[in-house]
């Protein structure tokens, strides 16, 4: 249970930060009667602040997540900086969401909490007791869940406004040999450089990248090196980029990755944002998608103000008997009696369809029928239904699947680009002042956009 709670709070801590008090708290000392600082402001983010206690809590959660493997983490000073950067970025997003009028209701939070509980095979009350039992605050957990929803809705709004996909883009991607070459699983280490980097900045980044590479060659696991050296947002996740098509690989690395074998890694490669070290964790060949399709027809009887549910049931049972016992024509009866506007005029013909195209209930029924067989009456979405299976076939749906995947790949890439640009703009126009010198990056000077 403790591991579950720690993992859950690890995710939320790295993605959320809510509004904080405007000033540090003071407590009179019992001995000298003088105010004693028990907290301090470590960063000012627009009109909000991040306190030392918030940073400590977030860092402690990360360290608990890596309990027994703390050697994978960077030195505490660097870890503090990494976590603070994520807290700042999330606070900016929460602030922007509120500014754009994004609001959430108590029912939104309750539903999200219930979903988290179900994912962990618990009730909401059991989840609450688990969090309290581990010394956590359920109210704080709910607040963080609420912030997470706000930020997701902010992202959705940005992507909705900025991302569109045309058929021409899909066609062009499908013609790209790199895209049709399957998928690759990549991990990376990013050593960032400031905008307008000086020769000294470039040299320092190059040396740090080489240090990371030397550590890996010396036996350090790649994900450990990513946690220790990478500046990317996914550093604390070991730099895992997941599975992606070659089209999703930055153009500067496509030729390099195409020639790599699983397990290989690149030397430090200069990119637009600094130096990258890539590891090819795996490669998948293009998939073939074979789908079983069914050809069926149906008769649907829907209760109404003039037809009770019991009467609708009796009507469909009478039609079933006329087809099975009296061998009357299914199509003729469908045209005469069916309430389904999409199939009635075609004699109930549903054409060819994948199993669940008409819903899971019909999908389950259709697999139980033999060719020519008529199902017994069954209830679906408040109506009474009869199905007749006319045939089934196996069809290669690879082309359709590839079009869907291509559209998703384009959308994913555009969404990431759009939101990354949004975050850069959000950060560059924000007032960020890191008040603790040891928490500043070398390029930080405090003030607008500094973090």
Q: What is the pLDDT of residue 6?
A: 44
Residues with Cβ within 8 Å of 111's Cβ and at least 6 positions away in sequence, in order, are none
Residues of the chain with CATH 1.10.4030.10: 1-180+397-451
CA distance 76 to 219: 22
Q: What is the pLDDT of residue 179?
A: 65
- Please classify residue 90 by burial: count the beta carbons closer than 10 Å to its beta carbon, then call 0-12 exposed, 13-18 middle and 19+ buried: buried
Question: In sequence order, what DSSP letters do the residues of 51-78 get, joined into one string?
Answer: EHHHHHHHHHHHHHHTTT-GGGSPPHHH
CA distance 107 to 111: 6
CA distance 320 to 377: 7
- Judged by phi (left if over 0) then psi (alpha if -120 to 50, else beta), residue 274 lies in left
CA distance 303 to 314: 11
Residues of the chain with CATH 3.10.50.40: 183-284, 290-396
Q: What is the pLDDT of residue 5?
A: 44
Q: What is the pLDDT of residue 29?
A: 41
Architecture of domain 290-396: Roll (3.10)
CA distance 179 to 386: 44
Contact 187, 222 (CB under 8 A): yes
Residues with Cβ within 8 Å of 16's Cβ and at least 6 positions away in sequence, in order, are 90, 94, 144, 147, 148, 151
DSSP H or E run through 188: strand 183-192
- Please classify residue 203 by burial: count the beta carbons closer than 10 Å to its beta carbon, then call 0-12 exposed, 13-18 middle and 19+ buried: exposed
Contact 97, 157 (CB under 8 A): no
| pLDDT tens track, the chain, 451 positions | 444 444 454 444 443 333 333 333 333 444 444 544 568 999 999 999 999 998 998 898 888 878 777 777 888 888 999 899 989 999 999 999 999 999 999 999 999 999 999 998 999 999 999 989 887 889 988 988 999 999 999 999 999 988 899 999 988 888 876 666 678 999 999 998 877 778 888 999 999 999 999 999 999 999 999 998 998 878 888 899 999 877 677 767 878 888 889 999 999 988 777 899 999 999 887 777 788 999 999 999 999 999 999 999 999 999 999 999 999 999 999 999 999 999 999 999 999 999 999 999 999 999 999 999 999 999 999 999 999 999 999 988 878 878 888 888 888 888 988 998 899 899 989 999 999 998 987 555 444 555 4
Does 183-284 carry CATH code 3.40.50.2300?
no
Q: What is the pLDDT of residue 360?
A: 94
DSSP annotation of 181 reads G
Fold of 1-180+397-451: Triger factor/SurA peptide-binding fold (1.10.4030)
């Amino acid at each position: 249970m403790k591991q579950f709670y720690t993992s859950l709070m690890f995710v939320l801590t790295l993605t959320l930060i809510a509004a904080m008090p405007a000033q540090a708290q003071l407590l009179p000392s019992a001995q000298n009667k003088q105010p004693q600082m028990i907290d301090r402001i470590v960063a000012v983010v627009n009109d909000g602040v991040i306190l030392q206690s918030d940073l400590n809590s977030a860092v402690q959660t990360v360290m608990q997540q890596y309990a027994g493997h703390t050697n994978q983490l960077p030195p505490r000073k660097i870890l503090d900086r990494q976590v603070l950067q994520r807290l700042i970025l999330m606070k900016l997003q929460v602030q922007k969401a509120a500014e754009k009028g994004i609001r959430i209701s108590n029912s939104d939070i309750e539903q999200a909490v219930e979903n988290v509980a179900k994912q962990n095979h618990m009730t909401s009350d059991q989840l609450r007791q688990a969090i309290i039992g581990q010394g956590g605050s359920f109210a704080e957990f709910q607040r963080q869940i609420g912030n997470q929803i706000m930020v997701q809705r902010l992202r959705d709004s940005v992507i909705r406004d900025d991302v569109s996909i045309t058929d021409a883009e899909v066609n062009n991607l499908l013609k790209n040999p790199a895209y049709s070459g399957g998928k690759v699983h990549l991990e990376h280490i990013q050593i960032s450089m400031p905008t307008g980097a000086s020769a000294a900045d470039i040299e320092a980044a190059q040396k740090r990248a080489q240090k990371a590479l030397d550590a890996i060659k010396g036996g350090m696991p790649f994900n450990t090196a990513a946690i220790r050296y990478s500046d990317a947002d996914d550093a604390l996740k070991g730099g895992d980029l997941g599975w992606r098509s070659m089209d999703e690989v930055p153009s500067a690395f496509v030729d390099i990755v195409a020639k790599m074998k699983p397990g290989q890694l690149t030397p430090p490669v200069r990119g637009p944002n600094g130096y990258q070290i890539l590891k090819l964790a795996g490669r998948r060949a293009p998939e073939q998608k074979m789908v079983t399709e069914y050809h069926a027809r149906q008769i649907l009887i829907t209760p109404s103000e003039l037809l009770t549910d019991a009467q609708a049931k009796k009507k469909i049972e009478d039609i079933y008997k006329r087809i099975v016992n009296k061998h009357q024509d299914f199509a003729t009866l469908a045209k005469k009696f069916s309430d389904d506007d999409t199939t009635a005029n075609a004699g109930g013909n549903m054409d060819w369809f994948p199993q669940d195209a008409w819903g899971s209930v019909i999908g389950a029924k259709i697999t139980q029928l033999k060719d020519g067989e008529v199902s017994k009456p069954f209830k679906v979405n408040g109506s009474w239904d009869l199905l007749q299976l006319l045939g089934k076939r196996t069809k290669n749906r690879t082309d359709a699947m590839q079009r869907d995947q291509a559209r998703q790949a384009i959308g994913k890439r555009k969404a990431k680009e759009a939101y990354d640009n949004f975050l850069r703009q959000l950060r560059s126009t924000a007032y960020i002042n890191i008040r603790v010198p040891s928490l500043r990056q070398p390029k930080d000077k405090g003030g607008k956009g500094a973090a």
